[in-house]
Amino acid sequence: TYIETDTKNRARVSLTGESRSFINEYIRNSSKVSPEDKLAIGIHGRRPPHVIIPPHTVPVLKARAGNPREVVIEYWDAEGGGRGKPEDVHGIEVLWVILDHEPVRDAEFTHSAFDTRSPLTLIFDEADRGKRVYMVGRWEIEREGLKGPLGEIVSAFIP
């Protein structure tokens, strides 16, 4: 009947999963099974951890006017030949501030935005139209919180 078949199938799935887990663990940790035998049956050794280093290159920013109150920022890697972000980098952090003069220190940038795919669009308030926004970017590996050096400061007027 259907109930007996269903019960049998559930028991088989449960037993198969538990058996595979037990056998896999036994074979991995057993000194009786040679590394060649492990490879032959498809059990590969654990890879060493991947060392993640902070990004060392800087992004290049190009700002242009978008719709009213929008500044569109295209970005790419300075050393990548115009080909997006570097390998292992999750995205870009763009620091920005609206000022009457070019920022002198990094601490003057009071806002930030994170993006993973160019272009990034910043949207401003109506009161900010006609003002100059200064922006600078750096690559970021978000999971680890690793950030690269800041690139060149660029500016644009808010349309």
What is the pLDDT averaged over residues 58-84? 88
* Contact status, residue 137 vs residue 93, Cβ threshold 8 Å: yes
Half-sphere exposure for 60 (CA within 13 Å, toward CB): 9
Q: How confident is the model at residue 27 (pLDDT cuts 50, 70, 90)?
A: confident
Closest CA to 133 of 58, 62, 90, 71: 71
Q: Of all residues in the chain, what percent carry a pLDDT higher than 70? A: 93
**Rounded CA separation 52/20 (Å):** 33
pLDDT score at 1: 61
Q: Give the alpha-carbon dihedral of 45, 51, 52, 58, to 10 degrees.
A: -120
pLDDT in tens, 3-22: 788 888 888 888 887 887 88
Give helix then strand counts, H and E, for the chain: 2, 8
pLDDT in tens, 34-62: 878 877 877 776 666 777 788 889 999 99
